[in-house]
Amino acid sequence: MAPTAEKKGIVLARIPGTAIPQAHTIFGASAFILALIIGCYGHYYKIVKNGVAGYPEEWFPSVSATTGDWYPERNVCQILIALTSGPRLILCYLWYLLVVRNVPANGSKGFAKFLFTNDVIRTVACGGWVYVTSSDDHDIHDIAMGVYLVCTIPHIVMTLKSAPQNAKAQWYRKLFAYTFFGALVPMIYFFIQHNVHRIPGAYTYYAFFEWSLIISDLAFDAVCMIDFETFEFRVVDIGMNGKHEEGSAFSDLKTFGGKKESGHALVKPADAVSFAADVYLGFIFWSMLTSLPLMIWYFPLWHMGLSGYEAFLFCNISVVLLGFNFLRRGIERSKGLVHLLSLVGVLSFKIFNPAERLMAVAAGVSLSLLTWGATLFGQRHQTGRAERGALALALGLVLHNVVKQAWWANNPIWPIMNETNGGQNLIGLGLGVLATLQVTLRKEPNVDEPKVIESAKKGENWVMAAVGAGGYLFCLHSMFSDSSTISRWSLGGYPNTGPQPVPGGLMVIAAMAAGLTLSSKRRTVTSLAWWAIGTAGLAVLHFIEGNVGFAGGVIFTIYALSLFPAIFRALGSQPPGRTFLLAMLVYNILALAHVWVVAYAFVPGGEVMRERTDYVLIAMQSCILIGIVNANPAAWIAVTEARSRAAFSAARLQAKVSLVGLVLASIGICWNRLPKSAPQPYHPEHKLITAGIWTIHFAIDNDMWNSEMRMRDAIRDLELDVIGLLESDLQRMIMGNRDLTQFLSEDLNMYADYGPGPTKHTWGCTMLSKFPIKRSTHHLLPSPKGELACAIHATLDVYGKEVDVIVSHNGQEEDLLDRRLQTTELGRIMRESDNPFLFLGYVVTQPGQGQEIYELLMDGGHVHDIEVSDWDRWCQYLAFRGVKRTGYARISHGGITDTEIQVGKYQLLEDHPTSWDKTQSIEDFKKEETYAQISEHQVPEGMRYPSIFYGEGIRKHRFHVFDRPYYYV
């Protein structure tokens, strides 16, 4: 088996030695990863169940259960393991050749033969426990697994001893060896806890360590890619004259991971890991940046005006420190450390106090901006690295969108998330630490700074670069930090809603990927014609509802993302202190204007920006225009040395592969989020409609935590068939570009009408319904003075009959004229409808006759108040017509907001009159409804309110004011 001299012949192909361990790693990892994904999707509850317990005590599957118990994950794993076996056996032989070549430094031929034999037995044993599953023959499966583990010990030890003296490879190899052996002890411990002591949940922890063995095992063998960079396989036709070898048509095939003669480079594994670390740190940057305004918003929300905490928006002016050369160079040289320090913004979720949590996030944003600014400036003279840095930041933004899509428009590492509401902060933090370690440990070329900034020689303007970058950063943050923003901008009433977030979000993420792919066409994307196309798409999105508006948004998405490298490369080529400072000031001004268009009633001089999103968009596009004129490709593209072109191509290849992966991930997320069944009302046997109204303060609870899961639990426990949610439009920077409607509607299996979208300048109202929505109209109620009020008028298919519902949020107490006009309009809508009607709204008035606003609503709309004796109301009201009222309750907010939940129960009965005589006087109309109450035991169980809300209630939700529900004849 010793190597021999190669015979002369024509080289038909050259295969790099790294291709074998790469194939082994890819096939092997795919076998287990795909089996895990498919298994969790198709048989989750079955594969987490074991002989001791099942879900929820056991919630993560073992390797054996994942790969051996069910079709199709078992078969997918076995097919891929079959594909892995060939590269695995070749790898064993290659390592034998490597050891023999280095005799006597790394042992003897006998040592090499023993290691080769051991590795072949280990490979066959792997096939034994993969193809003979525990359900086929438990003993054979365990024996094969035991042989595999026993052979792994000499495999690891002897490989470490016989490996070539490559410091980098040995460092990784020792790391994975330590993690492999380190996992054995806790794995055995938890196996004993499960198998001997039969403790529920222990097998889940065992499974984690079992999976870590697989990862460490594969990673240990993958390190061979570093050692085999000096290997090359050749397919040689020895029957022909060897003098043609170099002239063969196939002889120009170069090694995978080496350089092509054209100067372009393919991606080395180490480069791919490095790029992935940078992309993840880009994701961290966008996560912290988007969480900052969201956390600032908490304070003026509770103060009902400026709070002083708005000043933290300007924490980003710390970038002026980049003007100090010694500090900038220090950050560039120690950027791994500074990235690590910036993770305080992610760690801040451990801080309970909202103000202190905000301060930690502001510190994280400042440090992250300094690091990325130093990186972009430090790489400006290295075309390939500069391109790589900009693309990593762009891919971090796309990853941010994909992750938010998986978490229903929330980011699981935001500081408003924690373990109780779906957060994955510790995992995000751990990955961030690993990414910063990778940045710290990797070697990067040192390039001396020229004394004269090159951009100045080319006639570039730092002011134009800063203005363009500031406007562009605002564009990305306000419109592309969530994949559902474009669909919410374009929505209309039913049926012309445009695409919903699923699959609309997928289309936006695909458009972002397309835009980044187009970004290599530098002259095109920085042309005035391309700017005009993008601006036209934005105008269509802003002014037209439905599918046409969404199509305009997709065009604008492609346009916007195509500018990413050009804008940020131009920014990085300028004097950093003043340029980055001006860019952040432009961004801050646009961000404030973006808030002012809807918050005008609570800020000084707000009338100037009232409902003027068009002004903000014009300013944004003007800034971007200035930026692309400055970023003309001839002014900043410097393709010089072959290595720069190679790095440029490598960055592009890495980006394209990453984009394909992210789009595929988005497809999988959308598939998983598709509804599994049609919504059904809770009590169709009684023809019951349980409807409620709740002002939910933008899904931020009283302690600044995301409250969607707690809201879901309350809505589910109250068995609400229809609910109006007020202050629900979260598609703005100050609300994190979130969308509570997605999570609530999908998790509760309800139809949803988002209501007037972000371009309508309201605080939002949403309707969720177990009944199909046949049609709906979104109203902007008259608001000449105060904040703009919104309403949804929807027609539902309720047990085969049409029932109309209004969800509305009127203006504040200070604006009587607005409230009078708004309530008059609501009364007109209700009065003109022939259908049974439910009113769920926020009116701001005291109840009872003699109260102008109250009478405009009830008498003007020809509807009945659900309980006229309830004098303790101020803003939320329930009213009805054409249905039989059976119950009324008020439930405390539970710390989620400052406003209670009001719930009414109604029946839609065949013998109950559902239409009304429009000529009837209001006095006669009122006489039709009595308010005679009955006790709860007289009410059928299915028509009662849940008893869990009595007394102390559940999760701080309880019946209050009357401390019980009312029931009616």
CATH number of 262-445: 1.20.1250
Q: pLDDT band for position 159 (50/70/90)? A: confident
Weakest-pLDDT range from 151-160, 589-598, 690-699 = 151-160
Helix (H) or strand (E) holding 876: strand 876-881
Q: Per-residue pLDDT tens for 457-480? A: 455 789 999 999 999 999 999 999
**Of 106-115, 626-635, 719-728, which has the strongest mean pLDDT?**
719-728
DSSP E strands, 93-248: 232-237
Please tell me the distance from the alpha carbon of residue 288 to that of residue 342, in angstroms, as a whole number: 9
Of residues 1 and 352, more confidence is placed in 352
Write down the domain spans for the chain: 10-235+241-247, 262-445, 461-638, 688-968
How confident is the model at residue 930, as a pLDDT?
Answer: 85
Q: Do domains 461-638 and 688-968 have the same CATH topology?
A: no
Task: Give the three-state DSSP class for 959.
Answer: strand
What is the length of the chain?
A: 969
| Contact present, 59 and 48 (Cβ < 8 Å) | yes
How confident is the model at residue 295, as a pLDDT?
Answer: 96
Q: Per-residue pLDDT tens for 598-655? A: 998 888 888 889 999 999 999 999 999 999 999 875 444 443 433 345 556 777 888 9
Weakest-pLDDT range from 2-6, 430-434, 592-596 = 2-6
Weakest-pLDDT range from 80-84, 234-238, 499-503, 522-526 = 234-238
Of residues 815 and 536, more confidence is placed in 536
Q: What is the DSSP secondary-structure string of 243-274?
A: GGGGGSTTTTPPPTTSB-TTS-B---HHHHHH
Q: What DSSP character marks residue 703?
A: T
Q: Per-residue pLDDT tens for 2-31? A: 444 444 566 666 677 677 787 888 888 888
Return the number of other C-beta atoms located less than 10 Å from residue 938's C-beta: 9
Note if 697 is an active site residue: no
**Tokens at 257, concatenated:** 């991971």
How confident is the model at residue 253, as a pLDDT?
Answer: 33
How confident is the model at residue 282, as a pLDDT?
Answer: 97
CATH architecture of 461-638: Up-down Bundle (1.20)
How confident is the model at residue 107, as a pLDDT?
Answer: 54
Contacts with 621 (C-beta within 8 Å, 6 or more apart), sequence order: 471, 531, 534, 535, 538
Please tell me the distance from the alpha carbon of residue 497 to that of residue 504, in angstroms, as a whole number: 11
pLDDT of residue 890 exceeding 80 = yes
| Contact present, 484 and 509 (Cβ < 8 Å) | no
Weakest-pLDDT range from 254-263, 359-368, 764-773, 927-936 = 254-263
User: Across residues 58-72, what is the average pLDDT?
Assistant: 83
User: Across residues 265-281, what is the average pLDDT?
Assistant: 82
Average pLDDT value over all residues in the chain: 87
pLDDT of residue 446 exceeding 80 = no
SS3 labels along 723-776: EEEECCCCCCHHHCCCCHHHHHHHHCCCEEECCCCHHHCCCCEEEEECCCEEEE
How confident is the model at residue 639, as a pLDDT?
Answer: 39
How confident is the model at residue 786, as a pLDDT?
Answer: 86
Please tell me the distance from the alpha carbon of residue 692 to that of residue 726, in angstroms, as a whole number: 11
| Contact present, 3 and 231 (Cβ < 8 Å) | no
Q: pLDDT band for position 383 (50/70/90)? A: low
Please tell me the distance from the alpha carbon of residue 264 to that of residue 840, in angstroms, as a whole number: 64
Task: Give the three-state DSSP class for 844.
Answer: coil
| CA distances, 450 to each of 18, 378, 704 (Å) | 38, 11, 48
Work out whether strand 884-891 and strand 966-968 pair parallel, antiparallel, or are unpaired.
antiparallel
Return the number of other C-beta atoms located less than 10 Å from residue 579's C-beta: 30
Q: pLDDT band for position 934 (50/70/90)? A: very high
How confident is the model at residue 102, as a pLDDT?
Answer: 66
How confident is the model at residue 117, as a pLDDT?
Answer: 87
User: Across residues 785-807, what is the average pLDDT?
Assistant: 95
Q: Is the backbone peptide bond immediately before 758 cis, with ω within 30 degrees of 0? A: no
User: Across residues 240-246, what is the average pLDDT?
Assistant: 43
| Contact present, 94 and 231 (Cβ < 8 Å) | yes
Distance from the first to the final alpha carbon of the chain: 94
Weakest-pLDDT range from 107-116, 559-568, 853-862 = 107-116
User: Across residues 748-771, what is the average pLDDT?
Assistant: 96
pLDDT of residue 708 exceeding 90 = yes
Top CATH class of 688-968 equals: alpha beta
Q: What is the CA radius of gyration of the chain?
A: 32
Q: Taking the CA atoms of 906, 910, 911 and 917 in sequence, report the sign of the dihedral they define.
A: positive
Query: Please, what is the Cα angle at 584 between 578 and 589, to 5 degrees?
Result: 125
Q: Which of 809, 862, 893, 957 is catalytic?
A: 809
Angle between helices 354-378 and 576-599 (to 10 degrees): 140
